[in-house]
Amino acid sequence: MLEVGDGHSLYWEVSGNPDGKPAVALHGGPGSGSSPRLRSLFDPNRYRVVLFDQRNSGRSTPSATDPVVDLSANTTQHLIADIEALRVHVGIERWLVQGGSWGVTLALAYAQAYPERVTEMVLAAVTDGDRRDTDWITRDMGRVFPREWERFRDGVPSAERDGDLSAAYSRLLHDPDPEVRAKAARGWCEWEDTHMSLAPDAAPSLSVADPAFQLAFARLVTHYWSHGCFLEEGQLLRDIERLHGIPAVLIHGRYDVSGPLGTAWALHRAWPGSELVVLDDTGHGGGSMTSAIIAATDRFARDQGE
């Protein structure tokens, strides 16, 4: 556990080769927490891999599963500072940064703040945190999944259905009544599972998760989305020049309807040295995405050894 201030303590771990190529893996969500699966994205003989649970998620404390939790000290800027504090704590000079989904947004924000600390980047299911994209997920995709979206929209009071649905759900997720919180968490997670992929073999994950996990996940996603991910609109694309010279592989699924390919394409076009890998068998995850990430981390390990 690493104390990072504001009453927060982060769970972290290191695995692989102590003398290997340093890397940090940033989990998605926000709020998913890290998992042993992230270790499998790196060759343990070649990499020294750092995982951690972002504020209020996973094994970090305080937990967003608590009946009452204050998320005011949980912003993108706090998480960037946490990543840098962890790098210093474990004694790493520079590292490869890997992220998936929300972890891509966080990875880009961190790398733009500390480009001198980043050797390479491997980013899968590319997102940039813009309100344009969260509006797409919470409102515009009602044209793709009208029945499911109406159920999602109707999960908030009628007076709030034409406004910011993330903010409306966030209020419900902090309601004093545990039944109200649980219903909102379940409704949010059901909608997330709906829009993750158009791939025919896509399987639900969040809607069948433990209710405590659903609550923590939904609270953190809605907290970030209702605040524009604590970024200026267009910030990460605007500041992409800070990453020029950093090799990167961007990996995105053709069937990812919740995160249209255009975001990855725009970043790739503005980022010399980046490579865009489009997968024709997956959406926001699954399919060949894991093997594509491993291929990228293996290549960067080989490049270092040559």
Q: Can you give the pLDDT of all 306 residues of the chain as single tens digits?
A: 999 999 999 999 999 999 999 999 999 999 999 999 999 999 999 999 999 999 999 999 999 999 999 999 999 999 999 999 999 999 999 999 999 999 999 999 999 999 999 999 999 999 999 999 999 999 999 999 999 999 999 999 999 999 999 999 999 999 999 999 999 999 999 999 888 767 676 677 787 888 999 999 999 999 999 999 999 999 999 999 999 999 999 999 998 988 999 999 999 999 998 999 999 998 888 889 999 999 999 999 998 765
Catalytic site includes residue 101: yes
Known catalytic residue: 258?
no
32 and 111 in a single domain? The answer is: yes
How many CB atoms sit inside 10 A of residue 241's CB? 12
Last residue of a domain, one of 194, 229, 264: 229
Final residue of a structural domain among 229, 264, 280: 229
Active site residue 8: no
Neighbours of 299 (CB within 10 A): 15
- The active-site residue out of 8, 27, 174, 284 is 284
Same domain, 14 and 162: no
Q: Write out the residue range of the structural domain in which residue 46 sits.
A: 2-130+232-303
User: Do 28 and 109 belong together in one domain?
Assistant: yes
Last residue of a domain, one of 212, 229, 246: 229
User: Do 108 and 97 lie in a common domain?
Assistant: yes
Q: Do 199 and 88 share a domain, yes or no?
A: no
Give the span between the Cα atoms of 247 and 120, in whole angstroms.
Answer: 5
Distance between CA atoms of residues 136 and 113, nearest Å: 27
Tokens, residue 26? 């940033």
Catalytic residue, from 60, 101, 197, 274: name it: 101
- Pick from 46, 27, 23: which is nearest to 118 by CA? 23
Report how far apart, in Å, the C-alpha atoms of 172 and of each of 73, 157, 161, 222, 276 are: 20, 9, 13, 10, 39
Residues 123 and 139 in one domain: no
Number of domains in the chain: 2
Domain co-membership, 21 together with 65: yes
Q: Please tell me which residue in 170, 193, 256, 258 is annotated as part of the active site.
A: 256
As a whole number of angstroms, the distance between CA 259 and CA 164 comes to 19
d(CA 258, CA 247): 26
Give the CATH number for residue 62.
3.40.50.1820
